[in-house]
Amino acid sequence: MVAIQTFLLFGVCLVAHAATISPVVRSRGGIFHGRYLPQFNQVLYLGVKYAPKPVRFAPAELIKDTPGQHFNVTQYGLDCKGYGSDTNLLVAANWTKMGEDCLHLNIIKPKSRETGLPVLLWIYGGGWQQGATSDPRYNMSYIVQQSVLNNKPVIGISINYRMAAFGFINSKEIAKTGNQNLGLRDQRLALKWVNRHISSFGGDPAKVTIWGESAGAYSVGDHINAFNGANEGLFRAAILESGSAIGPPLNGTDWYQHMYDNITASVGCATANDTLQCLRSVPYETIAPYGYQGLEWFHTIDGSFISRPAQQSLTSGKFAKIPLLLGTNTDEGFGVNGVNTDAQAINQLTHSKRWNLNDEQAKRLLDLYPNDPSLGEPYGWGNRTWPENGAQWKRYQSIATDLTMFAPRRLLAERMTACGEDVFSYRWDAPRFNSTPGVIGINHFSEIPFVFGNTQQQITPLGNSSANIELSKLVMRMWTSFAHGLDPNDHGVPNIAKWPRYATPAAANFVFRADTSYVERDDDRLEGVAYINSLVR
């Protein structure tokens, strides 16, 4: 009897020990020891390096294969920058969470013996100035879970990349080295790592869908246009939320020179014989506060990754032809307060860092977007105005949203459809549960809590609304069924309108709402949007 009891206890210990053994992947890249997440029945590999610490203001290099080396990948690695907008993120106490040795990715995989899983790869937004894969708003466990519940399992991947000056610096000194768009090149390197190694984790390198929101979606658009459309087999489809292949202006070196000069002066490099080399030698703690100042570090034409204005790439056919799922929110915003007169509106349109318009173009836009509150944004509010925001606030909001989001979305949808690819376009019309006070309408970022479905954390919760939770379930299943089989309609949720493929002239959007989602014609502001899409920006 004692012997039997001893055997049973020993057996229990064995079972308990087996449950705590970390999952292991052996690949030519190394031996990766991950972590099991029992509440989701998922395996996580966090902080997987795709590149060693790069030389500052220089391209990163793909990490070398070390098939016999062991890696503990159970925790997030360093952030390239914190994920919030609070400047307190740059206080000394946070330096341990940030740094330049931050080029890593995270893999979230259903615990399954299945192989050949499609991959859904997330590129975070944040204006190319901030963001991190460790941001709990981008926890991919919930969306991967829904893919499994829908019998369309995918592997979720999120990637870090350099931002602000560290990822998008430009100047005559930088141009001489050809080292612009480093953040986009980091992303491309991560895609190459995935292409090379994801099969060892059970993924299919031929079934990668790249996915982003805001600057992340603009990044996706840049990858579609990159190298004249040669996607190198790195992705087969894309999802773009509130961003497109035409994004912030492709300003030249003159635009960035004063920003570069400000950094050199701020860290004591202005008088150096080689200012770039001096900047590379400055301690990170010294240069980082200046490298992350402002919201002006954008992508630029560099002659290789980005060869020309995106509108020209789309109209000339020099882009990757792939299936798309893309859309915008009803009231994205991007206007400014205090626009009261035509003259002030023209001044904003011609002097803002975002538009790059001349006087003639600005005046034409005012003709196409009259100062009629019933036509302006936020939409659906009739003649109501908010005079404290400016007498022409609704008009300028409408122009700004169409310039930034709505018109580029339509142009990309039209061009990709014309090339014979399946395109699914949407309009998001459900508000965030805890919208920021003072924010009016269905604004930028409204869809993110629903798409990631995280009901546990407090940053952007869905609340206890059953309608919100059901909408979140629907969108997560649509996104993952698109990544799995290139059709968002395979979601398994009953009584939902079928999302039609985009087709001209009867183009349509799927409208996401918490009450009843539906399909609409994509014909809002036809003349104004057509004019915007005729401009080379």
Residue 218: what residue type?
Answer: Y
pLDDT of residue 249: 83
- Contact assessment for residue 400 and residue 335, using Cβ atoms and an 8 Å cutoff: yes
How many Å apart are CA 246 and CA 259, to the nearest integer? Answer: 23
pLDDT of residue 1: 34
- CA distances to 353, 399, 529 from 525, rounded to whole Å, are 24, 10, 6
How many Å apart are CA 31 and CA 103, to the nearest integer? Answer: 18
Q: Identify the DSSP state of 339.
A: -
- Contact assessment for residue 492 and residue 477, using Cβ atoms and an 8 Å cutoff: yes
Give 517's Cβ-side CA count (13 Å radius): 26
Q: Domain segments of the chain: what residues?
A: 2-331+341-534
Cα radius of gyration (the chain): 24
Other C-beta atoms closer than 10 Å to the C-beta of 1 total 5
- Residues in the chain where the model's pLDDT stays below 70: 1-20, 83-96, 295, 433-438, 457-460
> What contacts 24+ positions apart, CB below 8 Å, involve 339-348?
339/390, 339/391, 339/392, 339/393, 339/395, 339/396, 340/390, 340/391, 340/392, 341/391, 341/392, 342/366, 342/371, 342/392, 344/392, 345/392, 345/395, 345/396, 345/399, 348/396
CATH of domain 2-331+341-534: 3.40.50.1820
What would the pLDDT profile of 75-134 be if each residue is shown by its tens digit? 999 999 876 544 444 444 455 578 899 999 999 999 987 899 999 999 999 999 999 999
How would DSSP label each residue in 132-189?
-TT-GGG-THHHHHHHHHTT---EEEEE----HHHHH--SHHHHHHT---HHHHHHHH
- Contact assessment for residue 376 and residue 299, using Cβ atoms and an 8 Å cutoff: no
What would the pLDDT profile of 436-463 be if each residue is shown by its tens digit? 666 789 999 999 999 999 877 666 678 7
Other C-beta atoms closer than 10 Å to the C-beta of 96 total 8
Which residues are marked as active site?
214, 332, 444
φ and ψ of 397, to 5 deg:
-60, -45
How many Å apart are CA 305 and CA 205, to the nearest integer? Answer: 22
Of 292, 310, 290, whose CA–CA distance to 300 is shortest? 310
How many Å apart are CA 220 and CA 242, to the nearest integer? Answer: 11
How many Å apart are CA 345 and CA 336, to the nearest integer? Answer: 10
- Contact assessment for residue 209 and residue 165, using Cβ atoms and an 8 Å cutoff: no
Of 415, 423, 377, whose CA–CA distance to 528 is shortest? 377
For residue 333 the two structure tokens come to 């915003």
pLDDT of residue 356: 81
Other C-beta atoms closer than 10 Å to the C-beta of 518 total 13
How many Å apart are CA 299 and CA 218, to the nearest integer? Answer: 9
Please enumerate in sequence order all residues whose Cβ is within 8 A of that of 92, keeping only pairs 6 or more positions apart, or say none: 285
pLDDT of residue 435: 57
Of 331, 537, 317, whose CA–CA distance to 412 is shortest? 317
pLDDT of residue 440: 87
- Contact assessment for residue 123 and residue 212, using Cβ atoms and an 8 Å cutoff: yes
For residue 402 the two structure tokens come to 């169409």
Of 350, 314, 329, 276, whose CA–CA distance to 445 is shortest? 329
